[in-house]
Structure 1
Amino acid sequence: MATATAPALAEGRGANLAHARTAAPYENWRPPVIGVSLIVPVGAEALVIADLLGTAMVPSGSVLSGETPEEAALNVLSDATGGLPPLRRVAVACVQMRRRKVITYVLATASITHESVGRLIYRDPRADIRVMPTIRAIDSLPVPGRLRVVVGLQALATGEIAYIGSDHISPMHLVLGDSAITEKRGQPAP
């Protein structure tokens, strides 16, 4: 990639190089940021939401190097008496930023009771854990979180894993191909 030199800047060509750099297509030269978001149903009518200084959000966190999304989820939200109910991947959201891809695994737990919500511990001590009716919780979330929750709940109901791209939503088996999904389930591809 060309860099601007002092003579080029003096002649006004540096502005063209700067424009070329900002007009360049997206680059993936940095490793992706990988995160995890949790959908925790409370009964059939409510969801667990983290209230961070007045902002509603889905409990979320980072996936560290060498960690699976399921292990990261246990670090994001844990139960004081043990672990969370069984986790299941329901969606994968991928967004291409200017120089980095952001991948978020959306996991759902089995439904918990109102009493067990009081024992949950969120990774950020500034946030409070709240139980909100599902529709009100979805409405209070920012658009990316809202999309992840709605698609995740639908995938949870259908038993599928959804892929959320920057411009489309599709079942994961259409993204990876049927043979990749079959191999992941431990069966040989046809």
Structure 2
Amino acid sequence: MVADLFGTIIVPTGSVHDGQKPAEAAQDVLRGAPDGLPLLRRVALSCVQMRRRKIITHVLATEPMTREDAGRLSYRDPRADVRVLPTMHVVDSLTAGGRQRVLAALQALATGETAYIEGGVVRRSISADLVQG
């Protein structure tokens, strides 16, 4: 599922506030599922050190959903529409960083692992930098 914001395809995103778990934050990003998003697990964790702060991105996978269930969802930004699109169409539409996160997450979902991305490098295990973030 992606958000279509005026023709720009984006992966639904939101902030994780202090004391909040990533799964709880995900429930705030996509709303409308009767029992909340059927979250499966975290499939990727990305860390990029910016000039003033570290940005940590959690990529969560849901259990399979029907188009009807997905059609009930709304994105936190009311200007965007939630859409279900073919994977390769989405991947081709994303920025380089978004593409890397999505592809690493899809691979991790297929293998049952979690992908860790640090500064653009995909790793199989977590480093101390990600643990401290």
TM-score, structure 2 length as denominator? 0.90
Q: 1:88: which partner in 2? A: 41
Aligned partner of residue 163 in structure 1, secondary structure: strand
- The answer on 1:52 being equivalent to 2:5 is yes
Where do residues 172-183 of structure 1 align in structure 2 (5 Å cutoff)?
172=125, 175=127
Where do residues 64-103 of structure 1 align in structure 2 (5 Å cutoff)?
64-103=17-56
Q: Would you say how many aligned residue pairs link Structure 1 and Structure 2?
A: 129
Deviation at 1:115, TM superposition (A): 1.3
Q: What letter corresponds to residue 115 of structure 1 in structure 2?
A: E
CA distance in 2, matches of 1:172, 1:58: 24
Q: 1:42: which partner in 2? A: none
Q: 2:105: which partner in 1? A: 152
Deviation at 1:114, TM superposition (A): 1.1
Aligned partner of residue 63 in structure 1, secondary structure: coil
CA distance in 2, matches of 1:145, 1:86: 20
Instruction: Give the aligned CA root-mean-square deviation in angstroms.
Output: 1.5
- The answer on 1:141 being equivalent to 2:103 is no
After the TM superposition, which parts of structure 1 deviate over 3 Å for at least 4 consecutive aligned residues?
Answer: none
TM-score, structure 1 length as denominator? 0.64
CA distance in 1, matches of 2:33, 2:61: 19
Aligned partner of residue 98 in structure 1, secondary structure: coil
Q: Are the counterparts in 2 of residues 94 and 103 from structure 1 also a CA contact under 8 Å?
A: yes
Q: Are the counterparts in 2 of residues 69 and 105 from structure 1 also a CA contact under 8 Å?
A: yes
2:117 to 159, 164, 170: 164
Show structure 1 runs of 5+ residues with no match: 1-47, 181-190
CA distance in 1, matches of 2:46, 2:93: 20
Show structure 2 runs of 5+ residues with no match: none
Identity %: 57
Q: Are the counterparts in 2 of residues 50 and 59 from structure 1 also a CA contact under 8 Å?
A: yes
Q: Are the counterparts in 1 of residues 12 and 75 from structure 2 also a CA contact under 8 Å?
A: yes
Measured against aligned partners, the alpha-carbon deviations of 1:29-76 in whole angstroms (never above 9, x if no partner) come to xxxxxxxxxxxxxxxxxxx11011221100110001110000000011
Q: 2:74: which partner in 1? A: 121
1:169 to 1:120, Cα distance in 2 relative to 1, 3 A: same
Measured against aligned partners, the alpha-carbon deviations of 1:109-143 in whole angstroms (never above 9, x if no partner) come to 11111111111121110111111111111111111
Larger RCO, structure (CA 8 Å, separation 6 or more): 2
Q: What letter corresponds to residue 29 of structure 2 in structure 1?
A: V
